[in-house]
A and B are shown apart, each in its own frame.
Chain A
């Protein structure tokens, strides 16, 4: 059974550019969440999607957005990149919100570097 797949693994962008990251959840999982991991702030919740609807959003500026497709694959977009957006972006999936009580399965992440 394939795990959570995130692409690309590594990305280097310039300040002011925008970026799109992709996440394919475990087959059958309908809930996808995104987290940002930095050395200073640790793992912080970005947003969660279930059945193509955003169910929850963290405290991030509007430059961070996402969406989920009918096949449960999800993308997140960051516009007008800032140096502080450099981080590991992690995607996690679960069958449904209730199953999240028992933990998410995370992907290996996309390492974004903004220069």
Chain B
């Protein structure tokens, strides 16, 4: 069983929709949670990071962490065609620098 599970999609939504992306994890040692966006032929770009359970908002993006359920989410409001990319969750333990990534969810926002 993988340490981090993420539905690879693909996920296709109309412009303006609310998108929900999720990851589950099994290792309670993970303490830091990040979301990356990766466009085709590019490296991952950090979108958001969070440490504690709860919500963190940045513009149209909201990251949600539920440590008790080992479940993290990224919500995108008013989705735009430019949001079309692969979204990766990344988790990190308290010590050390290794990130463990989910498989990534491929998102397409249709105009």
Which A residues are closer than 8 A to B by beta carbons?
A: 4, 31, 33, 35, 42-45, 48, 50, 55-56, 58, 90, 92, 94, 97, 100-109
Assess whether B17 is interfacial by the CB under 8 Å rule.
Answer: no
Are A43 and B101 within 8 A (Cβ)? yes
Are B34 and A103 within 8 A (Cβ)? yes
Contact of B44 among A31, A44, A45, A90 (CB under 8 A): A90
> In the complex, how many residues of chain B place their beta carbon closer than 8 angstroms to a beta carbon of chain A?
23
Which B residues are closer than 8 A to A by beta carbons?
A: 32, 34, 36, 41-46, 49, 51, 88, 90, 92, 96-104
In the complex, how many angstroms separate the beta carbon of B50 from the nearest chain A beta carbon?
10
In the complex, how many angstroms separate the beta carbon of A52 from the nearest chain B beta carbon?
15
Query: What is the bound-complex CA distance between A17 and B103, given in angstroms?
Result: 29
Query: What is the bound-complex CA distance between A55 and B108, given in angstroms?
Result: 38
Which residues on A sit within 8 Å (CB–CB) of B97? 31, 33, 48, 50, 55-56, 94, 97, 100
In the complex, how many angstroms separate the beta carbon of B52 from the nearest chain A beta carbon?
12
Q: A101-B49, A101-B51, A102-B49 are in contact. Are A45 and B99 (CB under 8 A)?
A: yes
In the complex, how many angstroms separate the beta carbon of B94 from the nearest chain A beta carbon?
8
Are A104 and B32 within 8 A (Cβ)? no
In the complex, how many angstroms separate the beta carbon of A100 from the nearest chain B beta carbon?
4
Query: What is the bound-complex CA distance between A103 and B37, given in angstroms?
Result: 12
